[in-house]
């Protein structure tokens, strides 16, 4: 099954393997550059059926680091257009972009300089649903005003419209890994007492309003969301709440959700082991009809096959293994090898 085609909205994917979004922290002024050309050219050549660009900030305040991609203006649009054209000229598979705002997780050091550490120099003010630190080592974010929330919504929709203009086929809204929309969803980060906080219905308001806005302005695009199956912390989102969110997303007719977990604090109960989100994906798949993608240490395709055959997921997203083992898909089936390379695999 893993190598069988799959219909996603109006496109056929040639297999069930998607390149997972991976931040490169290599942009200057939010623009993709030579590194991104090299990285995405490599990824698109691996045989994946769909590629999702790394988390891209909807405005410069929403960056994680100074080196994040940003899609908020026409200069950035033109630069994204060029790289999307380049990739499409190599292979006509759906290309998505993950849109995000970092919230209280922004203003960070680049991970290979200092992992999970806020900036001390050249830092910026961060915003969150409530003025609650990520943990004691992190700065206090400012609570977003209602006007601030309105602007976040506007910027997500603007960024999605620019994505469509740039030639992307898919927008994936990041609602996981402790970033702003996850902060709104999670009761441990959102203590508001207005229509954006409190019960789950209110906590879901902003992410759902953003999806609604994107759906109405980006007709024809594949729309997905990366969600958290569980916060894996006491008092955080549990699978039942996550299923309720997904049912709401289903009503809005989004095309897929990618199940992830953890991230709301620097340390959670998440244990990184083979297929660590698969149990959550399976629970969600049993309770909803939406297309499910899952990621998290799916390193060999036999395991990927097993979880698809057992209907635990529809699609798998692979990140690190596509970089460390780029022939993963070629070794599974030669039909994914470009003809120019076939002799190397005889
Ligand atoms: C270097 C790196 C950057 C990442 N950046 C993102 C990102 O931009 N957005 C996102 O949702 N997940 C991001 N992730 C998580 C991956 O998409 C993926 O879900 C995770 O690495 C687990 O899958 P894997 O074991 O196949 O790598 C990143 C992971 C790595 C290793």
> Residue ranges of the alpha helices (H) in 45-195?
74-90, 146-166, 180-185
Cα of 297 to ligand 1 centre, how many Å? 10
Quick one: pLDDT at residue 27?
Answer: 98
What distance in angstroms lies between residue 346's CA and the mean position of ligand 1's atoms?
33
Q: Is the CB of 325 under 6 A from ligand 1?
A: no
Contact partners, residue 201, CB within 8 Å, separation at least 6:
none
pTM across the whole model: 0.98
Q: What's the full length of the chain, in residues?
A: 346
**Which amino acid residue places its CA nearest to atom 15 of ligand 1?**
22
pLDDT tens for residues 222-241? 999 999 999 999 999 999 99
Measured CA to CA, the distance from residue 25 to residue 105 in angstroms comes to: 15
Q: What token pair was written down for 227?
A: 């969600």
Mean pLDDT of the chain, nearest integer: 97
Instruction: Work out the pLDDT band at 307, boundaries 50, 70, 90.
Output: very high
Q: Is 224 in the pocket of ligand 1 (CB under 6 A)?
A: no
pLDDT of residue 346 exceeding 90, the answer is no
Task: Find the mean pLDDT for residues 163-180.
Answer: 98
For residue 156, the CA-to-ligand 1 centroid distance in Å is 21
Instruction: Indicate which atom in ligand 1 lies nearest the CA of residue 54.
Output: 8
Q: How far apart, in whole angstroms, are the C-alpha atoms of residue 124 and residue 69?
A: 17
Q: Enumerate the domain spans of the chain.
A: 6-345
Superfamily name with CATH number, domain 6-345: Aldolase class I (3.20.20.70)
Distance 314 CA to ligand 1 centre (A): 19
pLDDT (mean) for 297-308: 97
- The residue to mutate among 320, 322, 328, having the most atoms of ligand 1 within 8 angstroms of its beta carbon, is 320
For residues 237 and 246, the answer to whether their CB atoms sit within 8 Å is: no
**Region 150-169: what's the mean pLDDT?**
98
| Residue 272: how many other CB atoms lie within 10 Å | 8
What does the pLDDT look like over 88-102, one tens digit per residue? 999 999 999 999 999
Which uninterrupted H or E stretch holds 42?
helix 34-44
Four-residue CA torsion sign, 307, 313, 319, 322: positive
114-136 pLDDT, tens digit each: 999 999 999 999 999 999 999 99
Say how many C-beta atoms besides its own lie within 10 A of residue 150's C-beta: 13
Distance of CA 276 from the midpoint of ligand 1 (Å): 13
- Per-residue pLDDT averaged across 76-84, rounded? 98
Q: Does residue 52 have its Cβ closer than 6 Å to ligand 1?
A: no
Burial class (CB in 10 A: 0-12, 13-18, 19+), 151: middle
For the Cβ of 39 lying below 6 angstroms from any atom of ligand 1, the answer is no
pLDDT in tens, 20-66: 999 999 999 999 999 999 999 999 999 999 999 999 999 999 999 99
The finding on whether 22 has its CB within 6 A of some atom of ligand 1 is: yes
Whose alpha carbon is nearest atom 19 of ligand 1?
295
Q: What is the reported pLDDT for 11?
A: 97
Q: How far is the CA of 317 from the centre of ligand 1 (A)?
A: 9
How far is residue 225's CA from residue 171's CA, in Å, rounded to a whole number? 8
Closest protein CA for atom 2 of ligand 1: 22
DSSP 3-state of 322: helix
pLDDT-based confidence at residue 167 (cuts at 50, 70, 90) = very high
Q: What is the pLDDT of residues 261-279, one digit of tens each?
A: 999 999 999 999 999 999 9
Q: Which residue bears the tokens 């594949």?
A: 222
Q: Is the CB of 51 under 6 A from ligand 1?
A: no
Indicate if ligand 1 lies below 6 Å from the C-beta of 105.
no
Q: Does 270 contact ligand 1 (Cβ within 6 A)?
A: no
Ligand 1 atom nearest the C-alpha of 298 is 26
Mean pLDDT of 291-300: 97
């Amino acid at each position: 099954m893993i190598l069988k085609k799959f219909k996603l909205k109006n496109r056929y994917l040639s297999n069930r393997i998607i390149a997972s979004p991976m931040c490169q922290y290599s942009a200057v002024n939010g623009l993709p550059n030579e590194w991104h050309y090299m990285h995405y050219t490599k990824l698109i050549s691996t045989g994946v059926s769909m590629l999702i660009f790394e988390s891209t900030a909807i405005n410069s305040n929403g960056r994680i680091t100074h080196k994040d991609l940003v899609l908020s203006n026409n200069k950035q649009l033109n630069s994204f257009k060029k790289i999307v054209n380049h990739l499409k000229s190599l292979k006509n598979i759906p290309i998505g972009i993950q849109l995000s705002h970092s919230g209280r997780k922004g203003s960070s050091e680049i991970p290979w300089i200092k992992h999970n550490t806020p900036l001390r120099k050249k830092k910026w003010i961060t915003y969150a649903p409530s003025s609650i630190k990520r943990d004691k080592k992190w700065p206090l974010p400012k609570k977003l005003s209602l006007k601030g929330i309105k602007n976040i919504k506007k910027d997500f929709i603007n960024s999605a419209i620019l994505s469509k203009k740039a030639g992307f086929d898919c927008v994936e809204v990041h609602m996981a890994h402790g970033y702003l929309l996850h902060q709104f969803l999670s009761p441990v980060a959102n203590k508001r007492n207005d229509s954006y906080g409190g019960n789950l219905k209110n906590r879901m308001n902003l992410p759902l309003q953003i999806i609604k806005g994107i759906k109405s302005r980006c007709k024809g695009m594949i729309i997905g969301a990366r969600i958290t199956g569980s916060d894996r912390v006491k008092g955080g989102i549990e699978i039942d709440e996550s299923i309720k969110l997904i049912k709401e997303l289903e009503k809005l007719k989004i095309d897929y959700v990618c199940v992830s977990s953890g991230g709301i604090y620097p340390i959670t109960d998440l244990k990184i082991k083979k297929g660590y989100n698969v149990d959550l994906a399976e629970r969600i798949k049993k309770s909803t009809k939406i297309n499910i993608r899952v990621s998290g240490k799916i390193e060999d395709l036999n395991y990927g096959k097993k979880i698809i055959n057992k209907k635990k997921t529809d699609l798998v997203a692979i990140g690190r293994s596509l970089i460390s083992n780029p022939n993963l898909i070629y070794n599974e089936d030669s039909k994914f090898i470009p003809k120019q390379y076939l002799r190397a695999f005889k």
